[in-house]
Structure 1
Amino acid sequence: MTTNTALHSIAELIDARAAERGEETFMINAQDGALFSFARLKEETDRLRANFDAIGLAPGDKVSVYMPNGPLPAILLLGIMASGLVVNPVNLLSQPSQLVHVLRHSDTRLVFTSREHQPALEQALAQVERSVAVVLCDPESMHVPLAPSLPPVAGVADRLVTHRIAPDEPALIMYTSGTTGVPKGVLLTHANLLANAASTSQVHALGESDRVMVSLPLYHINALVVALITPLFHGGSLVMSPRFSAKTFWADVCGFGCTWINVVPTIIAYLLNDEAGAQGRDLSALKFCRSASAALAPEHHRAFESRFGLGIIETMGLTETAAPSFSNPLAARERRIGSVGRPAGALAAVMGVDGQLLPAGERGEIVLQGPHVMQGYYKDPVRTREAFTDDGWLRTGDVGYQDADGFFYITGRSKELIIKGGENIAPREIDEAVLKHPKVLDAAAVGVPHPEYGQEIAVYLVMRDGAEFDAADLRRHCLAELGNYKCPSRFVQMLELPRGPSGKLQRLRLLEQPA
């Protein structure tokens, strides 16, 4: 692994890798195979910093990127942070009202976008009460475009080209895609991002020879930190894909020599459903498959490992913790199916409703501390205070427990628990039982109102290609797996379940659907 002594910012990280790795490949464009070196990354980010300085941006100013995956968005995200600015990757799945809120609330002064997304951006900016400059880009380019001049801001003295970035300076605002209320802007520092890149590199034993496939969107914390900043940290490389496609995934992974893959449970389900995708492919160069962002059903875990002969390392993290906080061990014999693993670069505990930490085996809210935990929510001191306990633990909202060996298990979200007749039922328990049915591709349980029990269990599910939906058959299956009390009373077929860009199930949105 490369030397990482005393790195304080993304700028110092880029400088160090350019000095050590020079013309070695940092990024490959999956579209055309074009190579992009560490030295070229420094050249482009230096050019970007000079441009930002010339147009009047100052340290701490906000710049947004509203683009699909590609080499250029990757360069822009790193370069904006390396310039001493705060980057705001905008979720392409944002609804119009959310997009307006993000652009307004983030105080962004400049937006890089593609022609495909220019109309939606312009409609949103028309509702923002200040001038915001727009730069049109080609995501497949490897050369940063010049930004236009900006209106001057009074009182700005510090210049980007001479500013030395401190570790506790903000580098990133990422808005969470919550299902209720307006999105919250998670504020992460250079130290937060570097801490998690270091932890991910360490727990997965990644080095200069390792290469990861980037098929998740860079406007999500998982891809940004795990698949972009982490390879830069350990001097490895990445293959940049515009989006996930089951048809091309294995061909790209094998053809470009990837040594690990970073996916979410939804991608695992799609790969399992694609009978021909990996046929004839040699997967022996792959060390592991990393699954993140949402709990992975044990049935899918076992089926994937059996089908592809590739071990899965299940992990978990939050936007508020700059991605992973838990990871299963690298050694296959030490992993625990169904667990998100042990704390990685963090302290973790389970807290009861009285604020006391609970012993192994008892369920409560999972709480975290560590160098990767956010500064807070941007311009939102109330929700920032609510996110932390009085003694500094970050409240995750995840309900779970740890076993005697320190492995953590997530059983649901505190707001998603099903309470039937006074008994708490973890939705994931129902999900996993339904997913054991051979005809079911995806499933999610929710509690819906019931006049006697308070709530009853409804399951929304996606059938495998060509499989017939049969509610009576599904009920017989669930009775055998769960017993009568926990057996769902309703089964609703859907074309797909509502998920965020990370693949995380947005369970509460199902309550908006007819059951």
Structure 2
Amino acid sequence: MSHAESHTRIHDVLASQARRQPGAICLYEEGGGTLSYAQLWQRVQDVAGWLRDQGVHPGHRVMMVGENCSAMIAALFGCSLAGAWPVGVNARLSARETDTIRQHAQPELLLYTTGISPSAAAHADAAGAADADPAVWGPGVQAVRASRPTQAEAGELAAEVATVIYTSGTTGAPKGVMVPHRGLLHFARVSAESRRLAPHDIGYAALPMSHIFGIATVLMATLHAGASLVLRSRFDAADAFKALEHPGVSILQGVPTMFSRMMAVAPPRAELRAPALRYLYTGGAALDPTLKRDAQRYFGVPMHHGYGITEYAGSMFVTDIDAPRDDCSAGHAVDGVEIRIGSPDAGVPVPGERGGILIRGPGVMLGYYRSPEQTAQALLPGGWLDTGDIGFVDAGGALFISGRSKDLIIRSGFNVYPIEVESVINAFPGVRLSAVVGRGTADQNEEVIAFVEPLPGATIDINLLMLHLRAQLAPYKRPARIVPIDTIPTTVSGKILKQPLKERLA
């Protein structure tokens, strides 16, 4: 049995690397310090003991309000070691959003990474938190107990949950996704192998560790390989370019908006210093062909892509490192993943047939916490997960995402997929980003509305853009209106928020 197969909980991965290469650098911290595998593992053990001393038992929830730092990672693995359920919450959420999650999760203990995050400090101050033991946590962590005792989860489920991740809740109350240990452990191996990660590799970790992309693809895969991470509390394009030069990031991963921001401030190609860069990867949202083309030309390496959602512990589809694609497909199913289009009984997908994407595999969530009705809607008989996305596969089995089912626009009986219209808009000179939404009309139809954000310093000629769209799109796909906007709203993880745009049109 391999060391990976012997793991049952996510902290086992870190413990193994601490034994195998104790002095190797695990984290390049913000501010210039480093943390070895042995040092991080010791901190995790100290945190687990401290949690127990605070009255945290297996099955209790521990809510971590913060931004990326070693304390967030120590809390994640410390909870795993103690048997608790970590609930990571990005500190940039509002007080209302954070409190909504707290009320639903009912944590026994709340932690705040006040040293690295002014936003976390504000939340901690409002909660009346006090300094946690710096001998355990290091400086800059505060904690507060629940105002009344909470009930620890029991039974088989209590030991299976690695973390609870609350969805962004852009169209309603956030849902707590129960992520399984086995799924994260499985994908750590799959992801590391897909990129051929090795101990000498260095990744860039600005994606929030409170989201599945940051935990599974960035953190768990890196630790599985014994590689290193440049850890950053927030994404900053200028800092990313500095990290490419030193310490020499070799694996650069992020959501498309991250790469869009990098391209907007990129130095001249001749001044790029990225001696170790060998792999670009984007996920978490649709990949725009213009962004892919520009990023590949600039960085000089292929841009890979994948498909994942919060309800699955890692990416379900990834492009092949040995066969870079010319299109924007999400690639092929990773080890252990099965797909159906439309219904579980549909059989092997028919190439080109578009429909709802259903997935089955070891990373499927255990359910939505305290929400059996929503769980029943998403988890179908036979172990299938309804992703809520629409797509199709080609003759070779590669997956293409058409969009979210809730974002589909029906115009005069025709289906309009926003991603297609956005791709055409984004190819127009001066456009940094676009977002296409539907708006209901008096005759019970829908019209297409496009929001367009220009590149810094650019001015977009709306009339010329309309002419461009007329030449590229069928009449029913063309926007009835183009709305210039300074900044298209995104979640803290970089996904475009369409609900606020729809509300602007109401």
Shift of 1:154: 9.9
8 Å contact kept, 1:113–1:134? no
In 1, Cα distance between the equivalents of 2:179 and 2:341? 24
Say whether 1:55 aligns with 2:54: yes
In 1, Cα distance between the equivalents of 2:130 and 2:214? 24
In 2, Cα distance between the equivalents of 1:156 and 1:363? 43
Match of 1:7 in 2: 7
Tell me the SS of whatever aligns to 1:398. strand
Match of 1:337 in 2: 327
Say whether 1:507 aligns with 2:484: no
Say whether 1:83 aligns with 2:82: yes
The normalised TM-score by structure 2 is 0.91
Deviates more, 1:321-330 or 1:96-105: 96-105
Q: Aligned in 2, Cα 1:419/1:148: closer, same or farther, shift over 3 Å?
A: closer
Shift of 1:205: 1.5
Amino acid at match of 1:72: A
Paired residue total: 497
Q: Aligned in 2, Cα 1:179/1:18: closer, same or farther, shift over 3 Å?
A: same
8 Å contact kept, 2:72–2:113? no
CA RMSD of aligned residues (A): 2.7
In 2, Cα distance between the equivalents of 1:153 and 1:327? 43
Q: Aligned in 2, Cα 1:457/1:435: closer, same or farther, shift over 3 Å?
A: same
Match of 2:284 in 1: 293
Shift of 1:231: 1.2
8 Å contact kept, 1:55–1:150? no
Q: Aligned in 2, Cα 1:274/1:240: closer, same or farther, shift over 3 Å?
A: same
Correspondences of 1:271-420 after superposition (within 5 Å)? 271-276=262-267, 280-331=271-322, 333-352=323-342, 356-357=346-347, 358-420=349-411
Tell me the SS of whatever aligns to 2:72. helix
Tell me the SS of whatever aligns to 2:217. helix
Shift of 1:283: 2.2
Deviates more, 1:182-191 or 1:463-472: 463-472
In 2, Cα distance between the equivalents of 1:278 and 1:248? 17
Say whether 1:497 aligns with 2:488: yes
Tell me the SS of whatever aligns to 2:260. helix
Tell me the SS of whatever aligns to 1:424. strand
In 2, Cα distance between the equivalents of 1:84 and 1:102? 21
Shift of 1:354: 9.0
**Structure 1, unpaired ranges of 5+:** 127-132, 159-164
Spell out, residue by residue over 1:21-63, the C-alpha distance to the aligned partner (whole angstroms, 9 max, x if none): 111111111422x121111112111111111222221111111
In 2, Cα distance between the equivalents of 1:268 and 1:249? 10
In 2, Cα distance between the equivalents of 1:209 and 1:398? 37
Correspondences of 1:26-41 after superposition (within 5 Å)? 26-32=26-32, 34-41=33-40
Amino acid at match of 2:418: P
Q: Aligned in 2, Cα 1:154/1:479: closer, same or farther, shift over 3 Å?
A: closer
In 1, Cα distance between the equivalents of 2:167 and 2:145? 30
In 2, Cα distance between the equivalents of 1:506 and 1:481? 25
Deviates more, 1:463-472 or 1:376-385: 463-472
Say whether 1:64 aligns with 2:67: no
Match of 1:99 in 2: 98
8 Å contact kept, 1:445–1:460? yes
Match of 2:207 in 1: 216
Match of 2:108 in 1: 109
The correspondence for 2:243, drawn from 225, 228, 252, is 252
In 1, Cα distance between the equivalents of 2:187 and 2:231? 21
Q: Aligned in 2, Cα 1:29/1:157: closer, same or farther, shift over 3 Å?
A: closer
Q: Aligned in 2, Cα 1:147/1:452: closer, same or farther, shift over 3 Å?
A: closer
Match of 1:161 in 2: none
Tell me the SS of whatever aligns to 1:294. coil
Shift of 1:71: 2.4
Spell out, residue by residue over 1:164-195, the C-alpha distance to the aligned partner (whole angstroms, 9 max, x if none): x9995212011001222210000112212111
Deviates more, 1:501-510 or 1:386-395: 501-510
Deviates more, 1:200-209 or 1:404-413: 200-209
Tell me the SS of whatever aligns to 2:463. helix
Match of 2:193 in 1: 202
Say whether 1:269 aligns with 2:223: no
In 2, Cα distance between the equivalents of 1:154 and 1:269? 44
Say whether 1:43 aligns with 2:42: yes
